Structures are given as C-alpha cells and as structure tokens.
Structure 1
Amino acid sequence: MRFAFVLGETFSGIRRNLSMVVSVVLVTFISLTFVGAAGLLQQQINQMKGYWYDRVEVAIFLCTDTSTTTSCASGPVTDSQRQAVQDLLESPTAAPYVKSFDYESQDQALEIFQEQFKNSAMAGTVTADQLPESFRVALVDPEQYEVVNELFSSMPGVEIVSDQRELLEQIFSLMNMASVIAVSVAVVMLVCAVLLIATTIRLSAFSRRRETGIMRLVGASKTMIQLPFLLEGVIAALAGAVLASVTTWAVAEFFIGDWLTGQYPGTGFIAGGDALILIPLLLGVAVLLAALSSILTLRRYLKV
C-alpha cells in the first residue's frame, strides 16, 4: 500500500513538472553520452596500443648520396658497412632485443612510397636514389628502443635510427586530448543536470506544499514524504542514462565495430561488447548524482 502510494505521488509529480523532467532527461542523456564517448576513446586507445605496440618497428636508415647528417659525411653506405649492420643484427649482442629484421633496398622503398602516395603528384617525382636503404627491425620489447638506438646509431653508414612509436605516441596524445575534452564537456553538462534536478525537485516541492503539510499533520514519516520527490529526480536521470547507454553501445557496435572495422581492416577496433562495461558506470553516475542533488534540495526546501 505504501509502495503504491509512493509511486502514485512520484508519477503525479512527474506529470506536473513534465517539461522540467524532459529537460533533466535530455541534459543527462547528453552529458552521459559525452562520458560514454570518453570511455570509448580510452578503450580504443588501449586497444590500439596493444595492437600497434606489438607490431612497432625500428627503422635503421642507411646513408645515401643526398644524406646531410654528420654521420654520413663520408658518403653513401658501402657494402662492408651494410654487412656490418646486418652482422650486428644477427649477433648475440642484439639477440635479446631483436625479434626479427628485414632489409629494404632503395627500389623496394620506392615501390612502397609510390603505393602510399599513389594519389599524390609526389609519386612521380621521387626516384629510388633519393630514398634510403633500411633495415626494418621488430623488437622483442618495444620499450627497449633506446638500447637498439645506442647499438646502431654510431655505426658507420647509418644515417638515423627511427622508432615508429614516436609517431604512435603523437596520435595517442591527440586521442587522449580528445578524451579529456569529452570528459570536460561531460562535467559541465552533468553540473547542468544536477542544477536542473534540484530546480525540478524544488518546483515539485513548492507545488505540492499543501499535500506535504497534510501528510505531516496525519503523522507520515519524513521518508514517506520525501521519497516521491527523490524518485522523481532519480527516474528522470535514469531515463537519460538509459538513452546514453544505448547510444554509447550503438556507436561502439555499428560505427566503430562495423563501419570503421570495414574501412580499416588492418587496425584493431573495439566493438559493442566493450561498451557494455561502461553501461553500469553511466547508470550508477546518473542515480548517484540525482539522489545526492535531490537529498540536498529536499533538506533545504522541504522542511519535515
């Protein structure tokens, strides 16, 4: 009986303040969608780090006629210098760090360049002698790049030792920045949602002050009087959280998992199943913020 009464009072309050409740739902939906987007971005960053770091290579570029670095002052790499680099790659000294390596000639480098820039005018202007020979080295542990750099960078005929991880770190830094921006926007929107919930509860309490006065006179408990107002805020916020959860899952499942995976098959992407981890977080944040906002508002504006 009491439960039915509380529910009746709750939905009665929602009907009276329908426009405000809809506003709470929409603002909560938008703010938690940003939270979900930030979570998806962070999951994708972790996924890509695990995917790419296992495939990261170190490129040992050899000197050419056009090299301008001081290490190439003596001219292009000689056969003996090239062989010395290969011998060190195959030696016990490098074995703890080098998983495998491949030699890439200038002609092979040109083929790869032309394939990468086939839609650019640059593809027809670059010749093989302008591109360096290189050894492409897969590391046992990508974190050991500095050791490999020290081993090979000072060898005659070596122009530079380049770590692909540097480029990946720049990409991941941009993605982390986007994640921080999404969280920042989400925080602002959540503050708006909390203020809207507080305003909705305040208006509801004001419009029903006569009913609450009667309930107080007949001996209704403090919890019985305040619970309908509390549930109004929680239900509105929970509705917004459900919409945000569905949106987050749909983005992960259809946009990232289906479309992006189809467009870039060589890259590991998250899918809808990964987004399910975020749903309890979104629902929990909504309920917690709504409950706290409602309780603080009721203490101030509903004296029982």
Structure 2
Amino acid sequence: MRAKYVMSEVFLGLWRNISMTVAMIITMAVSLTMLGAGLLLYNQVDVIEEYYQTNLEVVIYLERDISQEQIDQIESDLLSNDLVAQVQFESQEEAWKRFQDTFEESPDLVASVDPSVLPPAFRVKLKDINDADQLIAEYAEREGVSQATNQKEILQQVFDILGGAQRLTLIVALVQGVAALMLVANTIQVAAYSRRREVAIMKLVGAPNWFVQAPFVLEAVFAGVIGALFAFGTLVASKIFVIDGQFEDLFQLMPPVEWNSVLLLLPILAAISAVISAVTAWITLRFNIRV
C-alpha cells in the first residue's frame, strides 16, 4: 500500500510541475549527452593511440639514384637490427600506386604529380615505436638515404587535437551537469512547497522522514533516468547517422567506434543520473526544506 501511494505521489508530482519536469529532463539529457560523448571520445582516443602504436612505421626515404647494392646493404642492416620487427621495401612504382590509392578522390592532384619524383623507401615497423628516434639517428645521415621520418610525430598533432576535444567535451558536460543539479534542486523545492500542507499532515500523523521524502527523491530520479534515455538515444543516432553515415570514409582511416562502447553508456548514464538526482534531491530536502 505504501509503495502504491509513493508511486502515485511521484507521478502526480511530476504532472503538477510538468513544465519544470520537462525542463529538468531536457537539461539532464543535454548534460548527459555531452558526458556520454566525452566518455566515448575519451575511450576512442585511447583505442586510436593503441591502434597506431602497433601500426606506426619509420619511413626511410632513399635517393632516387641509389644503387641496388646500397639498397641491399641497407635492407640487410635493417633486418639484423634488434629494434626492427618488420621491413618492407617500396619501389618507385609501388610508391606511385600507394599515392594513387591514397588520393584517388583527387584526380587533379594525381595528374599533377610526376611518378618519377616519388622516391623508393623502406617502411620499417619497430618492436617499440618509442625507439624510432634511435633508428632514425642511425640511418638519417647514411649514404643513399634522403630522409627518415617517424609517423608518430606526424600524427601527434592529431592526438593533441583529439585530446583537446576530449577535455572540452568533459568541461562542457561538467558545466551542463551543474546547471542540471541546480534545476533538480529548484524543482524539488517548488514541488515540496506546493505540497507543504500534505507534508505537514503526514508529519502530524507520525509519518517517518523517509516516507515523506521518498516521492520527491523518486521524482528527481525518474526525471534523471528519462534524461539518460534521451541522451543515450542521441548518442545512438549520432553513431548511426553521423559516424557510420556522414563520416564513414573518414573513420575508415582509424579504428571504428564499436557498438559495445556505445551500448555500455546506457547503464553508466542511467546510474550517474539516478545517483546524482537522488543525492541532490535528498540534500535539498534535508537542508533547505523542513519536512
């Protein structure tokens, strides 16, 4: 009977303050969407870094007039190097084919490049990409070598940009979260004030504090969970229509955002919203409203 009464009071309270309830749900949904995007981006940056850490190479570009004897000697030295895991020689023809495949959507660029300007190269995969500088120091000034580059340094700017976006998303989520907490507290105050006579009567007949406070706390939790569901729906839609839709070609260059990572956000967002809403409502009732 008590449970039935509490639940009826919850839905009645939500309906009485429908405009505040909708505002609370929307604010919570926005903040949780930003939080979910931040968590997803945070995880994806780690996945991308791990992916490229195992696939990054040191590229040793050779002079175009290098002799076959010099090529064989450099290859032999690389294969016997303790830092090296794998060596692949790329001829000028293969370099030209790679260039065509990379820029196949820019035919004007491909047509403007003379295949003879592309140098042969060794693509070297290291056991540990952090040893790249040591290998480069050994071969950069070697006869027949034009230059040696570390792909990690080239991609470091990308990692820095992703890290900045990661932090920005979390900061925006934090600001939105504070706004959501303030709105929850305000909504609970308004709800408690509108039912102050009912609360006073329950206290007079000896109702315990938890029984009086339960409907207000559950109202906040219910609104928070609904907001979490909207936030999750937004993230799912973003995965389907944006990541896998508009930017499908872009994400072919890096590990895809897995559905497991997206689905894992539902219990996380629901739990966060429920706990934060409940705690905020309880503190509001405990310290700001006499019940």
Q: Structure 2 length as normaliser, TM-score?
A: 0.89
Is the aligned partner of 1:22 residue 2:17?
Answer: no
Give percent identity, aligned residues only.
33
Matches for 1:29-48 after TM superposition, within 5 Å: 29-48=29-48
1:260 offset after TM fit, Å? 5.3
1:120 and 1:261, CA in 2 relative to 1: closer, same or farther beyond 3 A?
closer
Q: Which residue of 2 aligns with 1:131?
A: 118
**1:55-94 pair list within 5 angstroms:** 55-64=55-64, 77-91=66-80, 94=81
1:101 counterpart = 2:101: no
Measured after TM superposition, the shift of residue 166 of structure 1 is 2.0
**Which stretches in structure 1 are left out of the alignment for 5+ residues?**
65-75
Q: For 1:178 and 1:263, how far apart are their aligned partners in 2?
A: 17
CA offset at residue 206 of structure 1?
A: 1.1
Contact 1:10/1:229 (<8 A) preserved: yes
2:277 maps to amino acid:
A
Q: Which whole-Å CA distance do the structure 2 matches of 1:21 and 1:41 have between them?
A: 30
* Residue matched to 1:219: 206
User: Shift of residue 251 of structure 1?
Assistant: 3.2
Q: Which amino acid aligns with 1:221?
A: P
Distance in 2 of aligned mates of 1:57 and 1:24: 50
Q: Residue 54 of structure 1: SS of its match in structure 2?
A: helix
Give 2:3's aligned amino acid.
F
**2-structure distance, mates of 1:206, 1:35:** 32
Q: For the structure 1 residues 189 and 218, does the alpha-carbon distance in structure 2 shift closer, same or farther, using more than 3 Å as the test?
A: same
Unaligned ranges ≥5, structure 2: none
1:20 aligned partner, one-letter code = M
Q: CA deviation at 1:253?
A: 5.4
- Secondary structure at the aligned position of 1:161 is classed as strand
| Match in the other structure for 2:192 | 205
Secondary structure of the residue aligned to 1:162 is strand
Scaled by the length of structure 1, the TM-score of the pair is 0.85
Q: Note if contact 2:243-2:251 (Cα within 8 Å) is conserved in structure 1.
A: no
Q: CA deviation at 1:201?
A: 0.6
> For 1:167-190, what per-residue CA distance to the aligned partner results, in whole angstroms no more than 9, with x for missing partners?
332222222222222111111111
Shift of 1:257: 5.4
State the 1:196 CA deviation: 0.7
The residue correspondences of 1:1-304 to structure 2 (distance < 5 A) are 1-64=1-64, 77-91=66-80, 94=81, 96-118=82-104, 119-252=106-239, 255-256=242-243, 265=252, 267-304=254-291
Q: Give the alignment's Cα RMSD to 1 decimal.
A: 2.4
The amino acid that maps onto 2:92 is Q
Amino acid in the other structure paired with 1:216: K
- Aligned mates of 1:245, 1:260 — CA distance in 2: 20
Alpha carbons 1:205, 1:301 under 8 Å: kept: no
Amino acid of the residue matched to residue 40 of structure 1?
A: L
Structure 1 stretch displaced more, 201-210 or 261-270: 261-270
Q: Which moved more, 1:39-48 or 1:198-207?
A: 39-48
**How many aligned residue pairs are there?**
290
